[in-house]
Amino acid sequence: MSEQSAAHVHHSIDYIEIAMRDVADAKRFYTQAFGWRFNDYGPDYAGIQGGGREVGGFRKDANVTPGGPLIVLYSRDLTATLGAVREAGGRIVKEPFSFPGGRRFQFTDPSGNELAVWSET
């Protein structure tokens, strides 16, 4: 088994592609809020780097519609991440709340996509 195929897990989510109205603005937001890195494939697509490989991408789409699956990110420090999302221009749509297993909040990015961030504490 190659090192590249060892990074892929059978029947798990392997890659998430997110529609964005403005790929450059999305890269700026996610870099500022979360420190993400990207591979550029032209002005209409950017690959999201993580865990030693590409794990997703932003694709340009004029028709971004909210809803669908909720992508949930993990944070070791929910308060700091909440501040970083606000500072980067994210809109908090659900303030931090407790649930069995931890706390989380939900936000929308500049294109209107809703994501969540959770932490164990």
pLDDT at 69: 85
pLDDT band for position 5 (cuts 50, 70, 90): low
Q: 73: how many CB neighbours lie within 10 A of its CB?
A: 15
The tokens describing 4, both together, are 């590249």
Check residue 68 and give its pLDDT: 83
Taking 60 as the threshold, does the pLDDT of residue 37 lie above it? yes
Please name the residue that has the structure tokens 């870099």.
31
The tens digit of pLDDT for each residue in 7-28 reads 678 777 789 999 999 999 999 9
Model confidence pLDDT, tens digit, residues 75-88: 999 999 999 999 99
Q: Does 101 fall in a domain?
A: yes
For residue 48, pLDDT beyond 60:
yes
User: Domain limits at 76?
Assistant: 11-119
pLDDT at 66: 84
Position 71 in a domain: yes
Tell me what pLDDT residue 92 has: 98
pTM of the model: 0.85
CATH of the domain at 53: 3.10.180.10
* Domain contains 65: yes
User: Is 67 inside a domain boundary?
Assistant: yes
Domain count, the chain: 1
- 45 domain residue, yes or no: yes
C-beta separation of 17 from 56 below 8 A: yes
> Is residue 100 included in any domain, yes or no?
yes
6 assigned to some structural domain: no
DSSP string of the chain, one letter each residue = --HHHHTS-TTS---EEEEES-HHHHHHHHHHHH--EEEE-STTEEEEEETTEEEEEEEE-S-----SSPEEEE-S-HHHHHHHHHHHT-EEEEEEEEETTEEEEEEE-TT--EEEEEE--
Residue at 56 is within a domain: yes
Q: At what angle do helices 23-34 and 78-88 cross, to 10 degrees?
A: 150
